[in-house]
Amino acid sequence: MTFTLVALFIVVVAFTAIAIGAFGWAAKTGQFHGLEAGARSIFDTDEPIGRPTDHFPERGRKSKASV
Partner 1 sequence: MNRGLTLFVGILATFTLAWAGLVLIPYLQFGRVTDYVSEETGQTLPPPMSGLAQRGHEVYAAEGCVYCHSQQVRGESQGSDLARGWGVRRTVARDYIGERPHFLGTMRTGPDLSNIGRRQSSVEWHHKHLYRPQSVSPGSVMPPFRFLYSLRKIVGEPSADALKLDGLDAPPPGWEVVPTPDAKALVAYLLSLDRSYPLPEAPTE
Partner 2 sequence: MTSPSSSSSPKGPKAALADALDRAAIDASCRLPVLLFFGSAIAWLLVGSVFALLAAIKLTTPEFLADHAWLTFGRVRPAHLNAVAYGWSSTAAIGVAIWLMARLCRVPLRHARILVAAAVLWNLGVAIGVTAILAGASNAIEWLEFPTYAAFILFVSYAFIAVWAVLMFRERRPGHVYVSQWYIFGAFFWFPWLYSVVNSMLVFWPVQGSVQAIINWWFGHNVLGLWFTPIALASTYYMIPKILGKPIHSYYLSILGFWSLALFYSWNGGHHLLGGPIPAWLQSASIVASVMMLIPVITTAINFHMTMRGSFALLRTSPALRFTVFGAMCYTVVSAQGSSMALRSLNKLTHFTHYTIGHAHLGMYAFFTMTMFGAMYYITPRLVRWEWPSAFLIKAHFWLASTGILLMVVSLTLGGLIQGIELENPKVPFLTIVAHTIPWLHARSWSGALLTTGHLAFALSFVLILLRTGKQREGPTLFTKERSFP
What is the binding site for partner 2 (CB under 8 A)?
32, 34-61, 63-65, 67
Smallest distance from the beta carbon of 52 to partner 2, in angstroms?
5
12 binds partner 1 (CB under 8 A): yes
- Distance of alpha carbon 55 from alpha carbon 63, whole angstroms: 8
Question: Which option in partner 2, partner 1, none does residue 11 bind, with CB closer than 5 to 8 A by kind?
Answer: partner 1
- Distance of alpha carbon 39 from alpha carbon 29, whole angstroms: 19
6 binds partner 1 (CB under 8 A): no
Smallest distance from the beta carbon of 39 to partner 1, in angstroms?
15
CB 53 within 8 A of CB 47: yes
- Distance of alpha carbon 3 from alpha carbon 48, whole angstroms: 59
